[in-house]
Amino acid sequence: MSLFLFAYFLIVLAYLAATGLSLFGALRRRPGLRRAAVRVAFGGFLLHTLLLGHFFATETIVEWSTGVYLKMLSWCVLAVSFLLWHRLRWDFLSLTVSPVALLLFASSINHAQGTVQMPKALHGLFFTLHIGVLFASIALLAVACGAGLLFVHQERKIKTKARLAGFLQDMPGLAALDRVNHWAVCLGFPLFTLGMLTGFVFARLTWGKVLSADPKEFMSLAIWALFAWLFYGRLFLDWRGKRPAKLAMLLFALAVVSIAGVNFFLQSHHGLMERP
């Protein structure tokens, strides 16, 4: 087993252990296990960071495997969740974020061979402005999605006057979960908009036009429009509760479909099916 394969194994093992510890700790109502899940996930995150750092230091950005994009997205999801955990100390984040990070990172191993081309003149700028801010915004959507799932489930329990049993008794209240959604949307939408604008600039410089008959562009515009509606509702219409929670869940699902479906299975400037 090579050193890199061993590192992959350790990262997957850490994220899997964190998922198991957070789930078991929630079901058994043991805060110590949930805190341990955060620490184990952070250990995997540090190794994940070293792995990506080594790649960026030694590999060209002209031709990346699609697995690298999934590793970056997994890293961004964890980075955002750790920032929130450090500020708010909400252990419940590990219950929703660790499985997402595990699935993204494990999927990246299966897509290690395909490559996506990028113009040589746009290496650093493309990564920093376009990929970086888009992945950060999707990571915020992942956090909002997890909080939305808990919000919808708890609200249903409360409306039916069912007793909150097990780990639900230890979860933040509806107002706290709604604040997670508000924070993630208000920060995530400007980042997504910046990612879209830089994408248009690069498309104009690379392919000679801002928009083309590319499924990725249509999907991204649809996500942006829905994201803008949610952002406007939260900021100016004082949306609260179930509506923004469900919209955040839908947006994250569409973002995953865009990455996993369009990038890997359709002919696009952004995906594996592109032909020279």
- Residue-range domain boundaries for the chain: 1-117, 125-276
The phi and psi torsions of 267 (rounded to 5 degrees) equal -75, 120
Burial call 120-159: b when 16+ CB within 10 Å, e when fewer: eebeeebeebbbbbbbbbbbbbbbbbbbbbbbbebbeeee
Mean pLDDT of 170-188: 84
User: Taking the model in full, what pTM does it have?
Assistant: 0.74
More confident residue, 56 or 188: 188
The answer on pLDDT for 175 being more than 50 is: yes
Confidence at 62, pLDDT banded by 50, 70, 90? very low
CATH of 1-117, one of 1.10.3470, 1.20.140, 1.20.120, 3.40.630: 1.20.120
Region 230-240 average pLDDT: 92
